[in-house]
């Protein structure tokens, strides 16, 4: 359900009522922006969720996270992280670069208001130029009256000299440990609160076929089409573990190779009685690869840590252009909302802390299927700017 119109948002209930009654829901209306007149652009209304275009950027976006006032977005090809207003989506600032600058900022987490974690992949995989992943902890502050933003690097952790080809995602655990997902070898690395690095899950051998199946790469065995565009990788290579999210004492993860959702007890990642390869025995399948190949590209795992009663896992079926919710007990996937414009190959998602009792899910899309540098199924870029940032309000 999409349209253009000007309206005034009074409450989230008003948004839902207008959508149902008029047959044309007010887009770009933020329920947090009570009583403010805004221009509507695009909205998708479903039985389980309402989504709309919260903002847009003129360059490729990837990671996303936020707090009560701000949303942070990585722009990897521009080697920067931008700071946006949570309500309007307007740019407030660019995150100050660390010494030496950023290379390929990819993943973001707000571990708490005032602390932003940036995972810089260090570049795309290149056999002749090693990519050194690095993780930056920023302390930041924002004055909403003056709109003054400031930030400084509090800690830097680098993976120099370690067997890591491409870092895709990072999660912050309750005790302050970080889990970094490496997709080419297929590994989970730990960054301890003191900044030391240790393998969580890692194969005993780097020989072909010797990896850990649930997190390792493999060959594509299906033809995937995203919005009518063939999606493939060089040599039909399907990356391993690419997205991670923690809830309670459990880490959930997914990857393109398996197209499934798995979990492992967090305690298993550092079990001193077993090797990093042996710890993989504790991995459990949550949701298998779906029959639809487009649903196998599972990215952007997120949990709503602001609602203790919601134990479900939220994810992005990127090639299918949709947001899904997965029951951790049954593995059943439920489609919440789909739209090829709002979710133009969605890759990252994060719940924002509650404001006026609402905890929206923000979603970033990178149009990966339209990028010839990644998609071997096309020979030239087919980007359709801008890169849309979406907000999703889950109804039930």
pLDDT of residue 12 exceeding 50, the answer is no
- Any alpha helices (H) in the chain, and if so which ranges? 12-22
Q: Among the ranges 9-13, 235-239, 388-392, which has the highest mean pLDDT value?
A: 388-392
Q: Is the pTM of this model over 0.95?
A: no
- The structure tokens listed for 231 are 């999606």
**pLDDT exceeding 90 applies to what percent of the chain?**
79
pLDDT of residue 275 exceeding 70, the answer is yes
Q: Which of 124-128, 256-260, 390-394 has the lowest mean pLDDT?
A: 124-128
What does DSSP say about strands 250-255 and 261-265: parallel, antiparallel, or unpaired? Answer: antiparallel
Tens of pLDDT along 321-357?
999 999 999 999 999 999 999 999 999 999 999 999 9
Give the separation between CA 348 and CA 313, rounded to whole angstroms: 13
- The structure tokens listed for 265 are 């007890």
Give the separation between CA 311 and CA 323, rounded to whole angstroms: 16
Rounded average pLDDT over 156-166: 95
**pLDDT exceeding 70 applies to what percent of the chain?**
89
Q: Which CATH number fits domain 46-394: 3.30.300.30, 3.10.129.10, 3.40.50.300, 2.120.10.30?
A: 2.120.10.30
Q: Evaluate the omega torsion of the peptide bond into residue 386 and state whether it is cis, within 30 degrees of 0.
A: yes
Confidence of residue 382 (pLDDT cuts 50, 70, 90): very high
Confidence of residue 8 (pLDDT cuts 50, 70, 90): very low
Tens of pLDDT along 103-121?
999 999 999 999 999 999 9
Tens of pLDDT along 165-198?
999 999 999 999 999 999 999 999 999 999 999 9
Q: Nearest CA to 96 among 77, 113, 118?
A: 118
The pLDDT value recorded for residue 18 is: 33
Compute how many other C-beta atoms are within 10 angstroms of the C-beta atom of residue 132: 17
Confidence of residue 61 (pLDDT cuts 50, 70, 90): very high
Half-sphere exposure of 93 (CA within 13 A, CB side): 15
The pLDDT value recorded for residue 127 is: 65
The pLDDT value recorded for residue 36 is: 34
Cβ burial, residue 241 (10 Å; 0-12/13-18/19+):
buried
Cα distances (Å, whole numbers) of residue 42 to 191, 203, 242: 40, 46, 30
- Return the higher-pLDDT residue of 133 and 17: 133
Confidence of residue 270 (pLDDT cuts 50, 70, 90): very high
Every domain of the chain and the residues it spans: 1-45, 46-394
First-to-final CA distance of the chain = 18
Tens of pLDDT along 202-222?
999 998 888 999 999 988 767
pLDDT of residue 40 exceeding 80, the answer is no
């Amino acid at each position: 359900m999409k349209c253009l119109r000007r309206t005034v948002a009074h409450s989230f209930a008003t948004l839902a009522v207008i959508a149902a009654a008029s047959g044309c829901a007010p887009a770009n209306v933020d329920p947090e922006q009570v009583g403010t007149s805004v221009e509507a652009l695009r909205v998708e209304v479903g039985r389980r969720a309402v989504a709309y275009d919260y903002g847009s950027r003129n360059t490729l976006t990837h990671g996303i996270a936020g707090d009560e006032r701000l949303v942070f977005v990585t722009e990897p090809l521009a080697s920067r992280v931008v700071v946006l207003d949570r309500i309007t989506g307007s740019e407030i600032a660019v995150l100050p670069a660390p010494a030496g600058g950023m290379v390929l900022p990819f993943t973001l987490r707000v571990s708490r208001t005032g602390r932003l974690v940036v995972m810089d992949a260090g570049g795309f995989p290149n056999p002749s130029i090693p990519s050194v992943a690095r993780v930056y902890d920023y302390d930041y502050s924002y004055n909403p009256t003056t709109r003054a933003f400031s930030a400084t690097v509090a800690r830097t952790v680098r993976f120099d000299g370690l067997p890591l080809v491409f870092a895709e995602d990072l999660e912050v655990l309750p005790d302050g440990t970080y889990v970094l997902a490496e997709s080419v070898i297929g590994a989970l690395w730990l960054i301890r609160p003191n900044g030391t690095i240790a393998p969580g899950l890692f194969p005993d051998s780097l020989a072909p076929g010797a990896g850990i199946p649930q997190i390792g790469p493999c060959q594509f065995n299906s033809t995937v089409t995203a919005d009518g565009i063939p999606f493939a990788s060089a040599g039909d290579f399907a990356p391993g573990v690419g997205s991670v999210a923690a809830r309670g004492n459990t880490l959930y993860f997914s990857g393109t190779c398996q197209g499934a959702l798995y979990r492992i007890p967090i305690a298993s990642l550092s079990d001193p009685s077993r090797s990093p390869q042996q710890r993989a025995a504790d991995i459990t399948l949550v949701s298998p690869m779906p029959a639809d190949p487009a649903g196998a590209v599972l990215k952007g795992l997120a949990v709503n840590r602001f609602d203790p009663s919601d134990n479900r896992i939220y994810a992005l079926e990127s090639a299918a252009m949709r947001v899904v919710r997965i029951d951790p007990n049954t593995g059943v996937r439920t489609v919440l909302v789909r739209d090829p414009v709002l979710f133009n190959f969605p890759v990252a998602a994060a719940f924002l802390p509650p404001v006026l009792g609402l905890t929206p899910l923000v979603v970033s899309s990178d149009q990966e299927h339209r990028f010839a540098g990644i998609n071997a199924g096309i020979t030239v870029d087919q980007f359709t700017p801008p890169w849309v940032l979406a907000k999703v309000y889950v109804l039930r």
